[in-house]
Amino acid sequence: MKHIILPVLIVAMTLTSCSASKIFCNQQNEWTTITNGNLWLTKNGDTVQAHAPGFLKIKETWYMIGEDRSREWRPDVNLYSSKDLQNWTFEKKIIENGVTSPELGTRRMIERAKLLYNKKTKRYVVWCHWESSNYGASEAACFSSDKIDGTYRLEWSGRPLGIKSRDCNVFVDTDGTAYFISTTEENQHLGLFRLSEDYLSVVEHTRLFPWQRREAPAIVKLGNKYFMFSSACTGWAPNQCKLSWSENLKEGWSPLENIGDNKAFRTQPAAILEIKGTKTTTFLYVGDRWKDPNLAQSKTIIFPVSFTETSCDFQYRNSFEINFKTGEWREEK
Ligand code: GAL
């Protein structure tokens, strides 16, 4: 009898201690390993085509849109979803080159599509670089839909406030004000364009970093400080990533500071993601490793970055682990 009771007791105690510290047990299993350098595949084994991605988190799901470069020089825009930035489901082609808005041309370079959600209008809004084949048009375009995976209709296209505009991104401030940020006037400056309340048009322009030829901007806010990552303009070839910070989006940006190695670890900035957990917040840098070796096989690279008062620790990691529940990250075990 004694021989039976003892093992039963041990099993029962183990189970109880695990359920008593259920959170601990779960957290042990909630580490996701992110490994860089490979093509991302969907559950169906297809290559994820969402280059220069833009992200939107809804509840526990990350939505990602980006350039579909399978037809390298005629990009469309695809939408994917994931819970862990690793297992991606293809949702929909939301902009099809020459089909979604044939009036804008059938062979456009549709680049750097970024996704916003407007709480007031309850619409999903896409802003992107809307270009001609020789990059002479220097235009942007805006689309919107009432569902994330709905039909995106063209809202506007052209040069924002008449200003030539190329590489772009979006940023939503804590008060809900949204901005379109783009490289302006033949790649000379960065333009900070405040969007209208419905996010569908540009209403105000502020020139930042005059004559400094920055592109691929990505802004993140920590407390009352904005940090902006950007690259130089060297086409698909990687170059030095630089960081600047300010307490005001429109002025007072610090001099550009080199971060990381001189090629941004062979990437160009696309986004900074905030992984807010129960214990801490981790920031993830997302960059494009273009033409690796061709455009369609460009890689999406992710690694954690951390900020000091005025700078950022920007170190590539081939592999790391992230806990989406607690917000922590750690070196791969
Ligand atoms: C890069 C830019 C890309 C794409 C490319 C074309 O500088 O970041 O988005 O426009 O040039 O050469």
**Calpha distance 79→29 (Å, rounded):** 28
Does ligand 1 have an atom closer than 6 angstroms to the CB of 235? yes
At residue 28, the pLDDT reads 56
Identity of residue 105 = G
Could you read off the pLDDT of 289-310 as tens digits, one per residue? 999 999 999 999 999 999 999 9
- State the distance from the centre of ligand 1 to the C-alpha of 89, rounded, in angstroms: 26
Does ligand 1 have an atom closer than 6 angstroms to the CB of 52? yes
- State the distance from the centre of ligand 1 to the C-alpha of 233, rounded, in angstroms: 8
**Calpha distance 312→207 (Å, rounded):** 24
Secondary structure class of 168 (helix, strand, coil): strand
Domains recognised in the chain with CATH numbers: 7-331 (2.115.10.20)
Does ligand 1 have an atom closer than 6 angstroms to the CB of 51? no
- State the distance from the centre of ligand 1 to the C-alpha of 52, rounded, in angstroms: 10
At residue 14, the pLDDT reads 39
Does ligand 1 have an atom closer than 6 angstroms to the CB of 110? no
Ligand 1 pocket: which of 69, 215, 241 to mutate (most atoms <8 Å of CB)?
215
Could you read off the pLDDT of 16-42 as tens digits, one per residue? 333 333 344 444 579 999 999 999 999
Could you read off the pLDDT of 176-191 as tens digits, one per residue? 999 999 999 999 999 9
- State the distance from the centre of ligand 1 to the C-alpha of 234, rounded, in angstroms: 8
The CA-atom distances, in angstroms, between 242 and each of 96, 213, 214, 269, 296 are 33, 12, 9, 10, 26
11, pLDDT greater than 70: no
Paired sense of beta strands 241-246 and 178-184, if any: unpaired
At residue 239, the pLDDT reads 98
- State the distance from the centre of ligand 1 to the C-alpha of 183, rounded, in angstroms: 11
* Stretch among 13-27, 229-243, 258-272 having the lowest mean pLDDT: 13-27
* Stretch among 1-10, 52-61, 207-216 having the lowest mean pLDDT: 1-10
264, pLDDT greater than 70: yes
Say if CB 289 and CB 301 are below 8 A apart: yes
Buried b (16+ CB within 10 A) or exposed e, 222-243: eeeebbbbbbbbeeeebbebbb
Could you read off the pLDDT of 96-126 as tens digits, one per residue? 999 999 999 999 999 999 999 999 999 999 9
Residue 333 — very low, low, confident or very high, per pLDDT cuts 50/70/90? confident
| Average of per-residue pLDDT values in the chain | 93
Give this prediction's pTM: 0.92
- Using CA positions, which residue lies closest to atom 5 of ligand 1? 235
